[in-house]
Structure 1
Amino acid sequence: MRLFFLLLLCSACAMAQEKPVYTDARNFQFIGKGLPTDPMYVRLDTVQTKPMTDAVKYLSTHSAGIAVLFQTNSPYIRARWQLAKRQFYANITPIAHSGLDLYCLNKGRWQWCGMGRPGDRDTLNDAPLVANMDTAMKQFLLYLPIYNQVTSLEIGVAPGTTIARIEKPAVDTAKRVVIYGSSILQGASATRAGMAYPSILQRKTGWEFINLGFSGNGKMEFPVAELLATMPAKVFVLDCIPNPSADEIRERAYPFIKHLLTKRPGVPILLVETAPREQGYFDLKVAQVVKEKNNVIRDVYIKLKGEGFKQLYYLPGKDLIGHDHEATIDGTHLTDIGFMRQAEVMLPLLQQLMKKSASAK
C-alpha cells in the first residue's frame, strides 16, 4: 500500500513538472487579415500604410480581429506571447486590449473555452488558456489582442500530443467581409477580443471578417479607400461615421465611397450610420453633432444612388444598440451587450448582401 501511494505521488510530481511543447503560431492558419503582411501579427504593414497618417500607421499594428486557427488533442493549451508595450485604457479590460481569447468548435458552433490573462509588469506573457479537456482532436480559434501589438506568439500543448493546421477549418475564407471604421469597430470596449462585433458575426456566419477599425482615426482619408479597393472581399462595410466631423464627411465621403464603388463594381458596400450617443439624450450639442453627421452621410448615399450605384446599401444607426440606454460603457463605446446588439442588427442585411455578391459572379 505504501508503495502504491509513493507511485501516485511520483506520478503527480511528474505531471506538475511536465513542460508544455510550444509551437510558433505562424505555423498555423491566420484569419482576419485584409492582405498579407510582414510581420505576421499586424493588420497592415509599413508598405501598405506608407501614404497614411501616423495615427493609422500606429493603430494598424494592433492585432484587432486577427485570429489563429489550429487543432489539437492536448488536454490543455497554454500560450506565450510578446507584446510591443504595456498598455492602459480606462475603458477596456487588460484581457481585451492585451490578452488572448480562445474558442473551441463544439457540435458545429464556436464556443468560448478560455482566455490568456496578460501580466501587469512585463510584455512577455506565459499563461494557461484551458485545462483538463478530453483528448479528442478539436478545432480552436484564438483571437489576438484588440488594442496592442503582438510581436511573437507560441501555443503550448502536452508532450506527445498533436497540434497542427486544420485541413477543413470551420471558417469560410472565401466569404470575406472587410469592415473599415472607428474605435467601436476595433473593439472598444469589449471585455475580451472575441466580443467585438466583427468577431461575433464571424462565429455566427462562419465567414472571415476583416477588422480595420482605427481608434479615433477612421476618417475616410483617400489612401485608405485606395488600399481597401485592393483587398479580396465579398462585402465591404463602412462603419466609420463616428470619427470624422460633419465637414470631413462632406469633403471626403463622396470621393472615398465612389472610388471603392468604381474599383469594385461587383461587391456590395454597406454604409452604416453612427449610433446615437447616450449623452445626447441630455447634452443637446452632442445630439446635434451626431444628427448632422448622419444627415451628411445620408446625402452622400442618396447622391451616389442617384448616379446609378446599385451595389451601395445603407443602415440607419437608430436601432444599432437598442433603446434601453444600457449598451455602452461611457456613452459612446460599446459593452458586450452593445456589440451583441449591433451584430444582431447587421446580420440579416449582411446575409442578404453575401447572397447578392455570390449571385453577381
Structure 2
Amino acid sequence: MDIAKLDRFMQARPAPEEGVRWLAPFEPPLVLEGFAFFEQDGAYRRLPLDSDAVFSRAGRAALTELGTNTAGGCIRFRSSTGRVLVRARLAAACAMHHMPSTGQGGFDCYLRRPGGAWRYAGPSVFGHGETAYTAALWSGGDREEKEFLIHFPLYMGVKEVWVGVDADASVAAPAPRAVSGAAAVYGTSIDQGGCASHPGMAFPAILARALDVQIYNFGFSGNACLEPEMADVLARVPGLRLLVVDAEANAGPLGCLGRLPAFLARLRAACPRLPILVVSAPLGPLEAQQPDRVAQKDAWRAAQRDAVEQARAGGDANIAFLDGRTLWPDGGEEYTVDGVHPTDLGFYFMARGLLPVLLPYLTEE
C-alpha cells in the first residue's frame, strides 16, 4: 500500500521556490546556536575537530561519529516572511526503524508572535531515502513580523543548510535570550533525542524554549561512558552556566558508572564554580516487566548519589543530585517507544520535571 496515494496529507510535497531569498544560518542577522565550536571549526557538529584524534587514540571513534549528529543546533531570527523553507543536504539517508525521519533527519520550526509564546509551526517532510531536499516548514502567509526558531535534526549529520524566506520580507536579529550564557546536557540517546517525532520535542529543546536559554546537546547514543576526554571537551564549552550529567542509561549497563567520581573531579578541576547536576535514570516499563532490574537501578542510583555526596563532603557546594524517578509519573509505562527511548509524551514529562529544578540555576547570579 502506498499511503501517499490514499491520503494526500501524507505526501512529501515539493516546496515552491519562486520568490524565495536564501539565507545562511551563520551569517547575520540570523543567529546560529547549539554548536559550541562552530566559530572555531566552521562545521555543524557538536564536538571540536581537534577532539577527533583524541577520541580515536582512546578507542572512542564512535563519539566522533555521533558528534557529527546535529542535535541541539538551532537557527533564530525575526522576519515578516509569510513562509519559511529549508534547503538541506544530509550526511546520509534516514534509516532508523523506530524513529521517524522527521526527527532523525528533519528540521522543524517554531514561531513566536509579539508578546506570545512559542508555537509549533511544522517539520520538514521529505521522501524516503532522500539525502538532499527542499521543504516548507511554515506557510501561514501572514506578514506580521514574528520570531522564528528552527531546530536541526537529532540523529543525522548536516552538510549544508539554507533558510528560505519571501524575497521582500524583512529579516532581523532575534530578541536576546532571557537567560545569558548557556546550559549543557551530557548523556545518552535519551538526551540526544531518540525517539522524538521532530527535533523540537527532545527534552533539551523543550527546556531551551521554556527557559529561553541556549542549551547544548551532548547526548551520545549508546556511548555516555564518562570518559576523561569527554570531561575535557565539556569544560571547553563557552559561557556554560550549568551542566546536567545523565549517563546512567549507558554507563550502568556498560559497566563504567564507576568512572563518575573521576569524571566529576576532572570537570571540577577545569571549572571550579560550574554548577553540575547529576540525574539518575527514571524507572521505565522494562522494570515493570523485569522486577529484578529495579534492584540494579537502585544500586546505580545510589552510586551516583554517593558520588555527589562525597564531592559535597569534600567542599564542592556547586554539585547536586536529582532522582530520575521523579521525571516519569506512574513508572513511564506509556512514555516510550521500546521500553527505553521516549515518545514525545515521555520527553514532555521529563522537561516538565526538570524545569523547576533547572530554573534557579539559570536565574540566580
TM-score by length of 1: 0.89
AA matched with 2:353: V
Q: 2:66 aligns with which of 59, 64, 67?
A: 59
1:320 & 1:17 partners in 2: Cα distance? 43
Q: Which runs of 5+ in 1 are unaligned?
A: 1-15
Aligned residues: 339
Alignment partners' CA distance in 1, 2:51 and 2:346: 32
Higher alpha-carbon Rg? 1
Matches within 5 A, 1:144-155: 144-155=152-163
1:312 matched to 2:312: no
Q: Find 2:223's aligned residue among 217, 224, 229.
A: 217
Flag as ranges the 4+ runs of structure 1 deviating above 4 A. Answer: none
TM-score, normalised by the number of residues in structure 2? 0.88
Tell me the percent identity: 27
Q: Which of 14, 30, 33 matches 1:31? A: 33
Secondary structure, aligned partner of 2:303: helix
Deviations 1:49-69 (A, max 9, x none): 431211110000000010001
Distance 1:306 1:335 in 2: 38
| Correspondence for 2:89 among 50, 57, 82 | 82
Using the TM superposition, name which of 131-140 and 81-90 deviates more: 131-140
1:13 match: none
Q: Does the 8 Å CA contact 1:81/1:124 hold for their aligned counterparts? A: yes
3-state SS of the aligned residue for 1:122?
coil
Cα offset for 1:220? 0.4
What amino acid is aligned across from residue 45 of structure 2 in structure 1? V
Post-superposition Cα deviations, 1:274-314, rounded to whole Å, max 9, x if no partner, equal 11131112213433432222222222122212211111111
Cα 1:59/1:298, change in 2 over 3 Å:
same
Q: Could you tell me how far apart the structure 2 residues matched to 1:17 and 1:151 are? A: 21
Closer, same or farther: CA 31–173 of 1 in aligned 2, 3 Å:
farther
Say what the alpha-carbon RMSD is for the aligned residues.
1.8
- Contact 1:277/1:286 (<8 A) preserved: no
Q: How does 1:328-339 map to 2 (within 5 A)?
A: 328-339=336-347
User: Using the alignment, how far apart are the partners of 2:100 and 2:183 within structure 1?
Assistant: 26
> In structure 1, how many angstroms separate the alpha carbons of the residues matched to 2:299 and 2:126?
41
Counterpart of 1:97 in structure 2: which amino acid?
Answer: Q
Which residue type is aligned with residue 161 of structure 1?
A
Post-superposition CA distance 1:143-187 (Å, at most 9, x none): 010000111111112232233433x34x24623111100000000
The DSSP-based 3-state class of the residue aligned with 2:210 is helix
Matched, 1:161 2:169: yes
Partners of 2:139 and 2:256 in 1: CA distance: 50
Between the aligned partners of 1:256 and 1:239, the Cα distance in structure 2 is: 12
Aligned equivalent of 2:46 = 43
Deviations 1:185-210 (A, max 9, x none): 00011111001111101111111111
DSSP 3-state at the match of 1:112: strand
Give 1:108's match in structure 2, choosing from 110, 116, 119. Answer: 116
What is the letter of the counterpart of residue 43 of structure 1?
Answer: R
Structure 2 residues without counterparts, runs of 5 or longer: 1-15
